A and B are shown apart, each in its own frame.
Chain A
Amino acid sequence: MKFFKFFLIVIILFPLSSVNSEGNDKRNEITKNLRCLICQGQSVYDSDSEFANSLKIVVDKKLQEGLSEDQIYEYFKTKYGEWILYDPGLNKNTYILWLLPILIFLIGGAIIYKSFIVKK
């Protein structure tokens, strides 16, 4: 039980350790998760369109203003709609998207367990 608690604390604390990274990295990480509206198959990070270049500058500005990653995503979501985010959050539109694979995994496991395996 003690071990379990310790484990939990480690998990909760560990995202903190990744905060002190360089600004550029943060910018890249964010723009990788934004979809470019000009070349619609690419992320803003990968794209070199005028729009994407400006958007990178905006991300830099927002980071300097001290906005968090989530706030920046939220900002672009209100400007351009949910489509711009490559990482769709868990909401009523995406319950099936996120949970169906997990459900399939669980059902698959149950089928294998029930029909094939004898414990002895």
Chain B
Amino acid sequence: MIYSLVGYYSLILGLIIGLSLFYFSYKNFNNSNVLDTKILSFTFLQLFFVVISFLCLIFSFVISDFSNVTVFNNSHTTKPLFYKISGTWGNHEGSLLLWLLVLTLFIFIFLVRTKNQPVKYKILTLVFQQIIIVGFFLFLIKTSNPFNYIFPIPTEGLGLNPILQDPALAIHPPILYLGYVGSSIIFSSVLAATSLKIISTSWASHIKKWILISWIFLTLGILLGSIWAYYELGWGGFWFWDPVENVSLMPWLALTTLLHCILVLEKKSILTSWVIILSIATFTLSMCGTFLVRSGILNSVHTFANDPERGLFILVFLFILIFLSILIFFFFHKDNNRKSYSFFWLSKETSILINNWFMMYFLSVVLIGTVYPIFLDVISSQKISVGPPFYHKLIIPFLIPFLLMMAIGPKLKWIKSQLEDKVYLISFLIISILLAFLILKNFNQNILINTILISSALYLFFITLRDFFVKKYKNISQNIAHFGFSLLILSILFNNIFASEIITNLKVGETFENSKTKIVFESVDQKKEKNYNAIIANFSISNLNGEEDRFSPELRIYNQPIIATSEADIKTTLMSDKFIVINLVQNQDFFNVRYQVKPFMLWIWLSVILISFAGIISFLQKRL
């Protein structure tokens, strides 16, 4: 009760501080050359109140205060403490409070850590960030207050959807939001810098750190979401091209592009317009993603409580920000050094431009694929679905030149370059093609496209691997990232091509056998836990080499809310994952059994971790 009260009024205070900051900024902007200490302390105070509010919500969840509607809807007394806490941000209201927390946290750190930049720039960045913050305060208080009361007070809550009770998902939202919402600071900063016309090499190296932070967290956040889908949704896949996944991928693509582009700006003070557009696009895409997911305009597996009023609010707010950025861009930004733009065709600049070109293409595929059904429905009332085949068809062919460019691009020098040492570049290509052919020669499905894909990924793999030994620590972060990417693509390809699967119906005691695998359905047990009852099926599965594994997938029936889920049993080894899941069939006494062997599964996760690790190294290097 008391927590809700404190939490709510902290939000109101935070909003008032946000409004007062506009006033202080206005005063400070015109009169002084140093940053007013009031601004700093008020920004801190705002962060403080949001933290208080957030803690209040967490406490309400921990003590199961069901007078709070959010707690009532999303928690239950029998839930483990860990999931009570993670339940705080597992719902619409709480996750928006987390948004606010990240927004205020980032602007505070930004003001404290930014040195050597004009005061006016800092103040203006604060103003733009406060526009976003105030917007979200209003949104939260008006349409999604996490501290609403319910009376009479229920004795028990409705519980958290069991598929959300997973360790990866518990930390997924905070990590993802640090990336997702963290891009707001890039947005505010670029608008401030554009208005003051201070976009330059020094601004580029200053903002690069922030781009890296967002990028690292976004990468890890997407990874966690993917791991969750793999373990919890029980389908054995890790990426479904579901709209919710797509909207997290879009800012990532924009951010990755920006990360490459800022390198050029940092060196040569060109491509300014493009950097501005990308910075604006990144946060706009994050916001757009929030709109698409929270408004219910798309239907996807991951459902949030949908409410058209919320959708309308975010939509209007999003477009206010878009139009504001368009105005600032066209009004203040004058690109007058067009003449000095030309690059030699074989140079680092060109290769980065080509990277940008492909990344923008991938982004447009994902964006158009995601929103096109909405457009078609509104314009002609035709309903279609855009799914994995669309994305695969448009992305995979373009991946081939992209991978080759990733291998060669970093070898080029600025301004004008020549490819020396062509011998090893060509011989590596031949080796890659031969190797890919050898790997695939026993597989007759789509051999041509797969061979080409694997050879180009292998090429990148070998070239970057060689650079670890030849170049040592020079450009180490870039090299690790590209190496990680080649590993990722290779793992995904092998995972797809060499996966095998058995789907069959079995009763207890029955055996399934084919030329390679023998599945024995041994017994069924029952288990009672605090928050669910489970049927455990015991299998023993052996393969040709006589290796035998025991599996115990479960069917769980959660009590709060009453939802049946199937828990896959997964055995992870270095080279492959074995994945088994069972399901009941209506009115039948057998179980539907699905057994999959998925090679290189672990490597998909590892390579993404490697990619974000590269980001961390780059971030730390800048500090030194």
Smallest CB-CB separation from B587: which chain A residue? Answer: A50
Q: Give the interface SS of chain A, mostly helix, strand, loop or mixed.
A: helix
In the complex, whether A119 has a CB less than 8 A from a CB of chain B is yes
In the complex, whether A59 has a CB less than 8 A from a CB of chain B is no
Contact A24 B361 (CB under 8 A): no
Q: Which of B300, B302, B382, B445 contacts A82 (CB 8 A)?
A: B382
In the complex, whether A21 has a CB less than 8 A from a CB of chain B is yes
Q: Which of B582-603 contact A (CB under 8 A)?
A: 583, 585-586, 592
Q: Which of A43, A101, A119 contacts B368 (CB 8 A)?
A: A101
Contact B353 A53 (CB under 8 A): no
In the complex, whether B448 has a CB less than 8 A from a CB of chain A is yes
Contact A41 B448 (CB under 8 A): no
Q: Which of B242, B361, B372, B387 contacts A108 (CB 8 A)?
A: B361
Q: Which residues of A contact B233 (CB under 8 A)?
A: 46
**Chain B 238-268: CB-based contact to A (< 8 A → 1; otherwise 0):** 0010100000000000000000000000000
Q: Which of B439-490 contact A (CB under 8 A)?
A: 444-448
Task: Give bound CA distance, A104 to B369, whole Å.
Answer: 14
Smallest CB-CB separation from B358: which chain A residue? Answer: A105
Q: Which of A24, A35, A108 contacts B357 (CB 8 A)?
A: A108
In the complex, whether A78 has a CB less than 8 A from a CB of chain B is no
CB distance from A12 to the nearest CB of B (A): 11
A-B contact pairs, 16 of them (CB 8 A): A11-B448, A14-B448, A18-B444, A18-B446, A33-B388, A33-B389, A41-B242, A46-B233, A86-B389, A87-B390, A98-B390, A104-B364, A112-B353, A115-B341, A116-B350, A117-B342
Interface residues of A (CB under 8 A from B): 10-11, 14, 17-18, 20-21, 24, 28, 32-33, 35, 39-43, 46, 48, 50, 53, 81-88, 93-94, 96-98, 100-102, 104-105, 108-109, 112, 115-120
Task: Give bound CA distance, A109 to B592, whole Å.
Answer: 50
Q: Which of A18, A24, A85, A100 contacts B385 (CB 8 A)?
A: A85
Q: Which of A33, A81, A109, A112 contacts B387 (CB 8 A)?
A: A33
Contact A10 B341 (CB under 8 A): no
Contact B385 A83 (CB under 8 A): yes
Q: Which of B331-357 contact A (CB under 8 A)?
A: 338, 341-345, 349-350, 353-354, 357
In the complex, whether B301 has a CB less than 8 A from a CB of chain A is yes
Contact A118 B343 (CB under 8 A): yes
In the complex, whether B85 has a CB less than 8 A from a CB of chain A is no
Q: Which of B369, B445, B583 contacts A97 (CB 8 A)?
A: B369
Task: Give bound CA distance, A112 to B445, whole Å.
Answer: 37
Q: A17-B445, A40-B299, A85-B385 are in contact. List 12 more A-B contacts (CB 8 A).
A: A20-B444, A24-B501, A41-B302, A81-B383, A85-B384, A96-B372, A105-B364, A115-B338, A116-B341, A116-B353, A117-B345, A119-B345
Contact B386 A116 (CB under 8 A): no
Residue among B300, B350, B357, B380 with the highest chain A CB neighbour number at 10 A: B357
Smallest CB-CB separation from A20: which chain B residue? Answer: B444
Residue among A21, A42, A50, A97 with the highest chain B CB neighbour number at 10 A: A97
Q: Which of A41, A85, A87, A104 contacts B361 (CB 8 A)?
A: A104
Task: Give bound CA distance, A61 to B572, whole Å.
Answer: 35
Q: Give the interface SS of chain B, mostly helix, strand, loop or mixed.
A: mixed
Task: Give bound CA distance, A65 to B123, whole Å.
Answer: 72
**Chain B 285-318: CB-based contact to A (< 8 A → 1; otherwise 0):** 0000000000000011110000000000000000
Q: Which residues of B contact A20 (CB under 8 A)?
A: 444
Contact B301 A39 (CB under 8 A): yes
Contact B583 A48 (CB under 8 A): yes
Q: Which of B386-401 contact A (CB under 8 A)?
A: 386-390, 393-394, 398
CB distance from A85 to the nearest CB of B (A): 6
Smallest CB-CB separation from B362: which chain A residue? Answer: A101
Q: Which residues of B contact A18 (CB under 8 A)?
A: 444-446
In the complex, whether B189 has a CB less than 8 A from a CB of chain A is no
Top 9 A-B residue pairs of the complex, sorted by shortest distance between their CB atoms: A86-B387, A41-B301, A87-B389, A118-B342, A46-B235, A105-B361, A41-B300, A101-B365, A104-B364
Task: Give bound CA distance, A41 to B585, whole Å.
Answer: 21
Counting residue pairs across A and B whose Cβ atoms lie within 8 Å, the total is 132
Task: Give bound CA distance, A116 to B447, whole Å.
Answer: 38
Size range of the interface on B?
35 or more
Task: Give bound CA distance, A112 to B342, whole Å.
Answer: 10
Task: Give bound CA distance, A108 to B376, whole Å.
Answer: 25
Contact B386 A86 (CB under 8 A): yes
Smallest CB-CB separation from B338: which chain A residue? Answer: A115
Residue among B240, B344, B382 with the highest chain A CB neighbour number at 10 A: B382
Q: Which residues of B contact A101 (CB under 8 A)?
A: 361, 364-365, 368, 394
Q: Which residues of B contact A46 (CB under 8 A)?
A: 233, 235, 237, 240
- Known A41-B301, A108-B361; contact A87-B345, beta-carbon cutoff 8 A: no
CB distance from B586 to the nearest CB of A (A): 6
Contact B384 A88 (CB under 8 A): yes
- Known A93-B380, A100-B368; contact A84-B299, beta-carbon cutoff 8 A: no
Q: Which residues of B contact A33 (CB under 8 A)?
A: 387-389
Q: Which residues of B contact A116 (CB under 8 A)?
A: 341-343, 349-350, 353
CB distance from B382 to the nearest CB of A (A): 5
CB distance from A92 to the nearest CB of B (A): 9
Q: Which residues of B contact A43 (CB under 8 A)?
A: 240, 387-388
Task: Give bound CA distance, A38 to B376, whole Å.
Answer: 22
- Known A21-B445, A101-B368; contact A50-B586, beta-carbon cutoff 8 A: yes
Contact A35 B385 (CB under 8 A): yes
Q: Which residues of A contact B353 (CB under 8 A)?
A: 112, 116
CB distance from A59 to the nearest CB of B (A): 12
Task: Give bound CA distance, A82 to B364, whole Å.
Answer: 23
Q: Which residues of B contact A84 (CB under 8 A)?
A: 385
Q: Which of B123-175 contact A (CB under 8 A)?
A: none
In the complex, whether B360 has a CB less than 8 A from a CB of chain A is yes
Task: Give bound CA distance, A81 to B377, whole Å.
Answer: 14
In the complex, whether B503 has a CB less than 8 A from a CB of chain A is yes
Task: Give bound CA distance, A94 to B375, whole Å.
Answer: 11
Smallest CB-CB separation from A21: which chain B residue? Answer: B445
Q: Which residues of A contact B235 (CB under 8 A)?
A: 42, 46
In the complex, whether B566 has a CB less than 8 A from a CB of chain A is yes
CB distance from B514 to the nearest CB of A (A): 10
Task: Give bound CA distance, A70 to B592, whole Å.
Answer: 28
Task: Give bound CA distance, A109 to B369, whole Å.
Answer: 21
- Known A17-B447, A112-B354; contact A28-B501, beta-carbon cutoff 8 A: yes
Q: Which residues of A contact B360 (CB under 8 A)?
A: 104, 108
